[in-house]
Structure 1
Amino acid sequence: MRKFTFISIYLILSLCISLLSSCKESSSINQSNLELNQSDPWDQLPDILNKITLPTFPDAQYNVLEYGAVKDDGKDDTDAFRKAINACTEKGGGMVVVPAGIYHSSAIHLKSNVNFHIQEGAEILFSTNPADYPMVSTAYEGIECINYSPLIYAYKQTNIAVTGKGILNGQASNENWWIWKGNKEYGWSEGMPNQKDSTSLPRLMSSQDNGIKVEDRIYGKGHYLRPTFIEPNTCEKILIQGITIKNAPFWVIHPFKSKFITVDGVTVDSHGPNNDGCNPEYSKYVLIKNSTFNTGDDCIAIKSGRDADGRRVGIKSENIVVQNCKMIDGHGGVVIGSEASSGVRNIFVENCNMDSPNLDRAIRIKTNSRRGGVIENIYVRNLEVGQVKECVLKLNMFYGIYANQSGDFVPTIRNIHLENINVKNGGEYGILAKGHPDSPITDVYLTNVTVEKVDSPYSIENVNNIHFSNTTFNGKKADDPKI
């Protein structure tokens, strides 16, 4: 009996020593992984940028004047543009050139390997007659449908571009497209049709809940849903460079279900309703740089579908970079949502200037419990903010629009980093954050942020782990909020 006890004790001690050794090794491995996971997230940026490859084109030119376009005569040039684009793609690709002058067009449909180049001094005036825009597969406010063609559109094409120093003018105004918003400030009055009519946007929003197939969601005439301006839909390797875009009917640049996209040196000057400057949706590997946004809505708004439709599609918008941009008027400088039901992650914003008494916020995330989705890994650094109206950073899980926006799909917002931000006038709040009781906003970090003037440093509700490092409001160092 004593011998058995001694052997048992020996075996137990040996096992304990072995387990301790194993735990120590496991702890060492876990610590190594932790250190790896805590590396600077900005180290991912070069790899993301390397994947955003530019389209390339043969050295061949197709002048639209040789295909029937006549500048400055006031006649429609759509057919000439179409013939030049078809000839270009059929012969292997190249540049379709629009020389200096005034042209008139309805929908322009790009094809693979075509660089549609609007030279300096050229301006294309787009028709404001809805009948001039054929029905195509598109989306409206994050819900897929068949509707009027975007003014410049490409579907399932590869290697496309819109470039040059010319002007694209949608000619939208209070006399045409903008009226459909249904707001008096845009020319609408009682008795006029608009998108809020029961056969228009409310019908589209209910279609996703009622399981109506996309091909059966047919709108267009009699439904008052405005077309986007530039929409590459399910495309790859896209360049939009140098152009000026004015007076859009609706969203301005809308990459949809697309990847490897560069928007470079573009000027958006459009103050109509929902005139968001650039809205990547269900899109990956996007670079927006050196561009100026002066808009009637969000300057840049990253999206991934609305409600049930977003969950059905299930494509995250991710690996999106914003660099060296200027934001003037708008509801927000860089915004995520509200249509973000598929999720948004890995967003990098750096070296931007935001300044206007008509810019409501610098950085904004807006969502609600109808949207759902996970929004995470948002990294912002090196911003110069002159003036914003409401706040520097707004995180809102109760974004309200149209009717009741509460549901059973509580979203997640986590891992938000602002670093090296200088703000002269932050408006009402430095940070305005409202999380959901069932899903608090988690992990918000402000490092080296200086807000010289603001009414109140922050208003925070249902936020876990918000941390200030070397951050000041109104000249006073900010301590971590006690939540």
Structure 2
Amino acid sequence: MRDQYDVKQYGAIADGKTVDTKAIQKAIDDCYEAGGGCVVLAGGTFVSGTLFLKSNVYLQVNSSAVLLANPEISDYPGGTHYNRYINEKDMDRCFIYAEDASNIGVIGQGEINGNAESFPNEGSIDRPMMMRFLRCKHIHVKGLRLHNSTAWTTAFLDSENIWCEDLDIRNDKKYNGDGLDYDGCTNVFVSNCKILGTDDNLCLQASSKDYPMKNVHISNCHFTSICAGIRIGLKSVGDISNVAIHNCTFENVWREGIKIECTEGGSITDIVAQGLLMRNVTRPIFILLNNRLDSIGSSIGLEEMPEIGSLERIMLSDIIATDDAEMCKTHYRFRDDIMGSPSFNGIRIDACESHPIRDLTMRNILYTSIGGVKKEDIPAEYPLVWDRRHEHPETVSENYYPTWSRTTFMDVRNVEGLSLDGVRFRALRPDTRDSFKIENCKAYKADVTES
């Protein structure tokens, strides 16, 4: 058995022009047949289409190598489809793919480049994800620069025992510029990653009752996003639980820092986020419990409006969120997609009155908001969250609406068991809105001050 398989010995040219897909795949196949080992890329730019990883095989991109996505969509065959958003068929193809494999990895100190500017090809809508792992076990993605994906950077689906470490992810060229996405995964470890993108930097979801999302550890990471830093939920048909987030920084996040959305009938429970520093994050904390079914974010297989699920036992502590002059601006994704503005700023926590959030603790939070909004410049009526299985007004509060905040700092509504301890607010500019609102919250105790 050989430990390493140099793809140049299989005829790979690595000149940045010649397509090396067949040579790299042949090395992977031989490595697998021999019982496993490392397939090594070193010394040049290797152009490739879809690569199929197999059990006991590690793809190693050395510091002297770049793995570059072939700009021809014909080099990305079918058989890699498993995107669970019904409205995103253009992301079914994939650059690096594994299914029902174990003990696999993509490692090294080199770069994998998705060649985002080259997609979609003329006559095609397809934009391949960089990596997708379906029903895999014992996965390592470590040490790499993952740049310029043409869609999501990674998707881990129904998988377990996953380590993502020491990654530099840059996905800022296209829509759907996610970083690390996990759906229905167990035992996830993310550490020392720097993520920049046009969508959610890191996302935890559960599209199926058969595969809960649980036992997640996120530490020592840095997030910059046109959308959200860390998102938990939206797709929550199944359950999400046991999530620990520690010692992370957020900078220039134009929507939400920590975003928790239970929207598709499952449960989100037992979440701890501690020791977070945020600079210029439009909504440092966003928590919502509701139900929805529409073309954005609907899970494949979700065919009717679900009953509202449960969101319980959330603890957020030791958080400093600070705005500077940058937050006076309105921020866009690309040219015309508004993501945030001063009137949108603030902490928002909301639920349907008949289905409250339960047991929420926020402790030692210092929030310096840009302020500067006049109360008369925002709509007077702030809509409620409704159970959308029943009759409700035409306008209801939901995941992307309202697009303004009625308070300068914090709006909390419909929480049973709310504890606020050492929560401090300060505005950089005069603001005539209410400083904060606490409505219909039971078993409520608070230490909240404004300076």
- What range describes the TM-score normalised by the shorter chain of this pair? 0.7 to 0.9
**Which residue identity is paired with 1:465?**
G
Quick one: which amino acid aligns to residue 299 of structure 1? N
TM-score scaled by length of structure 1: 0.71
Out of 456-465 and 61-70, give the one that drifted further: 456-465
Amino acid across the alignment from 2:182: P
* Secondary structure of the corresponding residue to residue 332 of structure 1: coil
Partners of 2:15 and 2:297 in 1: CA distance: 50
Q: Write out aligned runs for 1:46-65 (5 A).
A: 60-65=3-8
Residue type of the partner of 1:228?
M
Distance 1:277 1:73, change over 3 A: closer
- 2:347 is matched with 431
- Partner letter of residue 249 of structure 1? T
Q: Which residue is 2:261 aligned to?
A: 366
State, as a whole percentage, how many aligned pairs show the same letter: 24
Superimposed CA distance per residue, residues 435-462 of structure 1 (whole angstroms, 9 cap, x where no aligned partner):
1233112221111111133532212232
Q: Does 1:394 align with 2:286?
A: yes
Q: Which residue of 63, 71, 77 corresponds with 1:134?
A: 77
CA 338–140 in structure 1, closer or farther in 2 if over 3 Å, else same: same
Q: 2 CA distance for matches of 1:242 and 1:137?
A: 25
Aligned match of 1:441: 357
Q: Which has the larger radius of gyration?
A: 1
What 5-or-longer segments of structure 1 have no aligned partner?
Answer: 1-57, 180-191, 194-221
Partner residue of 1:378?
271
Partner of 2:438: 481
Q: Is the 8 A contact 2:313 2:360 kept in 1?
A: yes
Change (3 A) 1:437 1:73: closer
Corresponding letter in the other structure for 2:107: T
Matched AA of 1:101: G
Per the alignment, in what secondary structure is the counterpart of residue 23 of structure 2? helix
1:259 to 160, 168, 171: 160
- Paired with 1:73 and 1:363, the residues of 2 have a C-alpha distance of 39
**C-alpha contact 1:233 1:258 (8 A) present in aligned 2:** yes
Answer yes or no: is the 8 Å Cα contact 1:134–1:148 preserved in 2: no
1:185 maps to which residue?
A: none
Partner of 1:270: 171
Deviation string 1:349-406 (CA, Å, 9 cap, x unpaired) is: 00101011x43211001343xx2111111110011111112x1110123578637988
Residues 314-362 of structure 1: per-residue CA shift (max 9 Å, x gap): 2110001111000012311111122121121111100101011x43211
Q: CA RMSD in A?
A: 2.8
Which of 221, 233, 250 is the aligned partner of 1:354?
A: 250
> For residues 131 and 385 of structure 1, do their structure 2 counterparts lie closer, same or farther at Cα, with a shift above 3 Å needed?
same
Measured in 1, the distance between the counterparts of 2:348 and 2:159 equals: 32
**TM-superposed deviation, 1:295:** 0.4
Deviations 1:126-146 (A, max 9, x none): 123332212125322446999
| Cα distance, 1:88–1:336 mapped onto 2, change above 3 Å | same
Structure number with higher strand proportion: 2
Alpha carbons of structure 1 residues 250 and 450: separation in structure 2 relative to 1, 3 Å:
same
How many residues get paired?
372
Partner of 2:38: 95
Mapped pair 1:235 → 2:151: no
Counterparts in 2 of 1:332 and 1:342: CA distance versus 1, 3 Å: same
Aligned to 1:469: 421
Amino acid at match of 1:466: L
Q: Using the alignment, how far apart are the partners of 1:473 and 1:135 within structure 2?
A: 52
> In structure 2, what is the Cα distance between the partners aligned to 1:60 and 1:283?
29
Instruction: Give the corresponding residue for 1:40.
Output: none
Structure-2 residue corresponding to 1:211: none
Residue type matched to 1:65 in 2?
K
The separation in 2 between residues aligned to 1:227 and 1:412, in whole angstroms, is 35
- Within a 5 Å distance, the mapping from 1:58-457 to structure 2 comes to 60-72=3-15, 74-142=17-85, 148-173=92-117, 176-177=119-120, 224=125, 226-271=127-172, 272-305=174-207, 310-311=208-209, 314-356=210-252, 358-368=253-263, 371-389=264-282, 391-397=283-289, 402=295, 407-425=305-323, 428-453=344-369, 455=371, 456-457=408-409
CA contact (8 A) 1:139 1:146 kept: no
Look up the match of 1:214: none
Greater share of helix:
1
- Contact 1:288–1:322 (8 Å) recurs in 2: yes
Aligned twin of 2:383: none
Give the direction of change, closer, same or farther, for the CA distance of 1:362–1:404 in structure 2 (3 Å limit). closer
Take 1:404 and 1:65, find their aligned partners in 2: how far apart are those partners?
A: 43
Partner SS state of residue 254, structure 1: strand
Tell me, yes or no, if the aligned pair for 1:429 and 1:459 is still in contact at 8 Å: no
Counterpart of 1:167 in structure 2: which amino acid?
E
Corresponding letter in the other structure for 2:265 = G
Q: CA deviation at 1:147?
A: 8.1
8 Å contact 2:256–2:281 — kept in the other structure?
A: yes
Q: Which amino acid aligns with 2:422?
A: N
Residue identity matched to 2:230? V
How much has 1:125 moved relative to structure 2?
A: 1.4
Could you state the TM-score of these two structures normalised by the residue count of structure 2? 0.76
Kindly indicate whether the alpha-carbon contact (under 8 Å) linking 1:354 and 1:384 is maintained by their aligned counterparts in 2. Answer: yes
Report the Cα distance in structure 1 between the residues aligned to 2:409 and 2:436, rounded to whole angstroms. 11
Q: Residue 153 of structure 1 aligns to a residue in which SS?
A: strand
Report the Cα distance in structure 1 between the residues aligned to 2:74 and 2:309, rounded to whole angstroms.
40
Counterpart residue type for residue 139 of structure 1: Y
Distance 2:307 2:205 in 1: 17
